[in-house]
Amino acid sequence: MTPAPLVALVGNPNSGKSALFNALTGARQKVGNYPGVTVERHAGRMALDDGRPVELLDLPGAYSLEPSSPDERVTRDVITGAQAGERLPDAIIVVVDAANLDNHLRFALQLIALGLPVVVALNMIDLATRDGLTLDPEALARELGVPVVPTVAVRRRGIDDLKQALAGVIGHGTAVRLAAGDGSVTDDIVALQRRARAIALAGTISETPVRRWTHAIDAIALHPVAGLILLTAILFLMFQAVFTWAVVPADAIDAGFADLGNAVRATMPDGVLRSLIADGVIAGVGAVVVFLPQILILFFFILLLEASGYMVRAAFLMDRIMAAVGLSGRAFIPLLSSFACAVPGIMATRSIEDEKDRLTTILIAPLMTCSARLPVYTLIIGTFIPNNPVFGFVRLQGLVMFSLYMMGIVGAFFAALVLRRTVTKGASSGFMMEMPKYQWPRARDVLIGLYQRAWIFLRRAGTIILFSTIILWALLSFPKPPAGSDISEVNYSVAGRIANTITPAFEPIGFNRDITLALIPAMAAREVAVAAIGTVYAIDDPDAPAGQESMIENLRKRWTLPTALAFLMWFVFAPQCISTIAITRRETNGWKWPAFMVGYLFVLAYIASGATYWIASAIGL
Amino acid sequence: MDMSTSVMISVTLEKLPRRQPATVAGIDWAQLAVPEARRLRELGFDEGVAIEVLHRATLGSGPIACRIGRMTVALRRAVAGAIHVSTP
């Protein structure tokens, strides 16, 4: 059986390509990676009207066939058949923004010149109409020599016509001319641009100037004062939502896992297996899954800001500040994403063209407090910091949480400043970005994005976190102390012995054995620290009821306030989780930079925790 | 003969007042880094194209947002300084 025809979606950034991909494939998508690079490969399936299945590929947005980032290189390589592990597409759908033909048709001309069967999707035609443009798709088709189909991806308009046009061109390709880089006229950007403008003019029936509401919003959003106030308000709302909206679902999940653990204890006979399931698996995984609501809320906002077009405005406003520490406004987007998780954040640095600039952003991205640290912060703050009102509606717990976030940000800026003058020294980087029109984000696109994030998180909980909690449970449970021994089970176990050995190195900064025990598995994933503490106390105190209540009681008994504060500080700078180290290795092509990152963050974390512990102890907290 | 009506006044994009319609008179490519120059071309910067400054970020030295063709593009002042525009 021959494989289904492969069709690639190609287009400029901001052409609505991914929305079109979602409209064509629905939820039937697979997100993977191209080998050797961390460019996400989005593939999906759809059926043509005649029933033929087609594999659809959503390629990264690009401005031309001359790549200036790893993303754009993948796009070029796939459509010229040079990408390892990927077939040459049987056809391409070129997605252009109907309201920006002048620019998007230039890339379309380059793509058409490649010789593959092409259908042009004249996307976002509704927004073009709103902008006062009346277009003539037939005239455009004549000029370009390929079918042109008007579409509105977000409203699923024109999708059937697009499929029909696609069915008509698949299998009718001319021989492929690999035009990229052959020095022909298709490489002369200026000449192509002029031709694109002429075609756009021929395809435009009328154009009435209207006041575009994008400009009206930008008058506020990009205003030097009002814009910054708006940005601050949005970020405040975002973090407020993360902490308040998540309470109800998180409590429900926690209660569910506690019930499950208690049910297992009540029904299974006492023994190793019961301990493994109740103390290891359920207590460990439950302690992490509790944070799914917070993570989803954070991603919800980030997806919303990206889909609406606001993210680039934020980058614009932040460029001046970023420039002061040697970065560009572009770094703002990866850094903001790093508040959810450093892995997508570091992957998002691929849009930064300057190599030194990108490297610096990667190195400081882990200092943004990722959502995996939230479980740790929430637990320790909830346990040790009284929730007294400080002034007005501001309470002490919230204030401490806010300070931890701020410390990460300040630390990151300071680190960038130092790095840019030492290890990543180089010419100051540039900032040049297209600002897309504002768009109302579509629920469908946001939901697909959220679903993918939730799935990645749960898969992590089901694999790395499950695996490390089981190992930790085993290390904590064996060997068993002999009957009648007064040494506690944890102290006698392998993990207890390891922790006892390394604890002296951490004692000067106030860490007790429970903490050093938790730090080891926390390398796998940060939120495991909470799971690890949960498992330690569950094994040490098997008669206590399951759930967070008993854990908090145990913490209050065993930790002092300076220790708790030092522990929080450790997590502001903490050396990275395995996933972050792995992604850094992949993005920087080697072990040098991840090793450097872990090293400098370890030193920062040790100093910051130590200073916190000593100061807190000295003032008698 | 009065020349003032026919002479185009040439300034750089950096100095162009906000909301003042202009056209690109020329770009000093030598002032720009190679990737910067290429991106600028890809974004449609070319002689004769209509351009207008929409916003200046922070007062003083932040980036500039300008309308070029049908796009809005943000760029730093150093780059804007290499783009010469003429106003009628």
**Residue ranges of domains in chain A, CATH in brackets:** 6-210 (3.40.50.300), 452-618 (no CATH)
Closest CA to A119 of A159, A61, A84: A159
Q: pLDDT higher for A519 or A172?
A: A519
The angle at the Cα of B18, spanning B13 to B20, to the nearest 5 degrees, equals 80
- What is the chain A residue with the closest CA to B76? A431
Please tell me the distance from the alpha carbon of residue A321 to that of residue A223, in angstroms, as a whole number. Answer: 15
Q: pLDDT higher for A353 or A361?
A: A361
Please tell me the distance from the alpha carbon of residue A178 to that of residue A76, in angstroms, as a whole number. Answer: 10
Cross-chain Cβ contact A432/B42 below 8 Å: no
Contact A276, A470 (CB under 8 A): yes
Q: What's the pLDDT score for residue A178?
A: 47
Cross-chain Cβ contact B42/A218 below 8 Å: no
Cross-chain Cβ contact B41/A193 below 8 Å: yes
E strand segments, A509-586: none
Q: Which residue has the tokens 């992590």?
A: A460
Half-sphere exposure of A556 (CA within 13 A, CB side): 12
Q: pLDDT higher for B3 or A120?
A: A120
Output the six-digit token pair for A566.
Answer: 């030092």
How does DSSP assign A334-363, residue by residue?
A: HHHHTTT-HHHHHHHGGG--SHHHHHHHHH
**What is chain A's mean pLDDT, rounded?**
83
Nearest by CB to residue B58, choosing from A214, A219, A224, is A224
Interface test with B, best of A431, A437, A438, A439 (most B CBs within 10 A): A431
Q: pLDDT higher for A530 or A52?
A: A52
Output the six-digit token pair for A111.
Answer: 């793509």
Torsion angles phi and psi, residue A511, rounded to 5: -85, 130
Contact A530, A537 (CB under 8 A): no
CA distances for A36 relative to A6, A31, A66, A89, A207, angstroms: 22, 15, 20, 20, 46
- What HEC string does A447-508 produce? HHHHHHHHHHHHHHHHHHHHHHHHHHHHHHHCCCCCCCCCCCHHHHCHHHHHHHHHHHHHHH
In this prediction, residues A476-480 reach a mean pLDDT of: 79
- Chain B hits for A316, CB-CB cut-off 8 Å, are 55, 57, 62-63, 65, 74
User: What residues have CB less than 8 Å from A86, skipping those under 6 apart?
Assistant: A34, A57, A77, A78
CB < 8 Å from B in window 49-78 of A: 63-64, 66, 68
- What is the chain B residue with the closest CA to A438? B72
Output the six-digit token pair for A205.
Answer: 């029936």
pLDDT confidence of A461, banded at 50, 70, 90? low
Q: Which residue has the tokens 């840019």?
A: A420
Query: What do you get for the CA distance between the two ends of chain A, in Å?
Result: 73
Please tell me the distance from the alpha carbon of residue A75 to that of residue A67, in angstroms, as a whole number. Answer: 8
Q: pLDDT higher for A350 or A566?
A: A566
A435 close to B (CB below 8 A): yes
B17 close to A (CB below 8 A): no
**What is chain B's mean pLDDT, rounded?**
82
Give the fold, CATH level 3, of B9-87: SH3 type barrels. (2.30.30)
Q: What's the pLDDT score for residue A546?
A: 60
A82 close to B (CB below 8 A): no
pLDDT digits (tens, 9 = 90+) for A550-602: 778 888 888 899 999 999 999 999 867 777 887 788 788 889 999 999 999 99
Nearest by CB to residue B57, choosing from A214, A224, A353, is A224
Q: Is the peptide bond before A479 cis (omega within 30 degrees of 0)?
A: yes
* Overall pTM > 0.90: no
pLDDT confidence of A185, banded at 50, 70, 90? very low
**Cα A411 to chain centroid, rounded:** 21
The angle at the Cα of A411, spanning A382 to A564, to the nearest 5 degrees, equals 25
Q: Counting every residue, how long is chain A?
A: 621
Query: What do you get for the CA distance between the two ends of chain B, in Å?
Result: 19
- Assess whether pLDDT exceeds 70 at residue A458: yes
User: Residue A455 burial by CB count (10 A; 0-12/13-18/19+): exposed, middle or buried?
Assistant: exposed
pLDDT digits (tens, 9 = 90+) for B45-83: 888 888 999 888 766 678 999 998 778 899 998 899 999
CA distances for A58 relative to A22, A84, A93, A439, angstroms: 9, 17, 10, 20
Contact A413, A367 (CB under 8 A): no
Please tell me the distance from the alpha carbon of residue A111 to that of residue A88, in angstroms, as a whole number. Answer: 14
CA distances for A578 relative to A460, A600, B2, angstroms: 12, 16, 74
Q: What's the pLDDT score for residue A295?
A: 75
How does DSSP assign A70-133, residue by residue?
A: HHHHHHHHHHTT-STT-PPPSEEEEEEEGGGHHHHHHHHHHHHTT-S-EEEEEE-HHHHHHTTE
User: Residue A452 burial by CB count (10 A; 0-12/13-18/19+): exposed, middle or buried?
Assistant: middle
Q: pLDDT higher for B5 or A320?
A: A320
The pairing of beta strand A53-58 with beta strand A6-11: parallel
Q: What's the pLDDT score for residue A415?
A: 94
- At A11, which helix (H) or strand (E)? strand A6-11
Closest CA to A101 of A184, A11, A208, A209: A11
Q: What's the pLDDT score for residue A590?
A: 84
User: What residues have CB less than 8 Å from B22, skipping those under 6 apart?
Assistant: B13, B16, B50, B51, B52, B85, B86, B87
Domain ranges of chain B: 9-87
- Assess whether pLDDT exceeds 50 at residue B22: yes
User: Residue A248 burial by CB count (10 A; 0-12/13-18/19+): exposed, middle or buried?
Assistant: exposed
- Chain A hits for B64, CB-CB cut-off 8 Å, are none
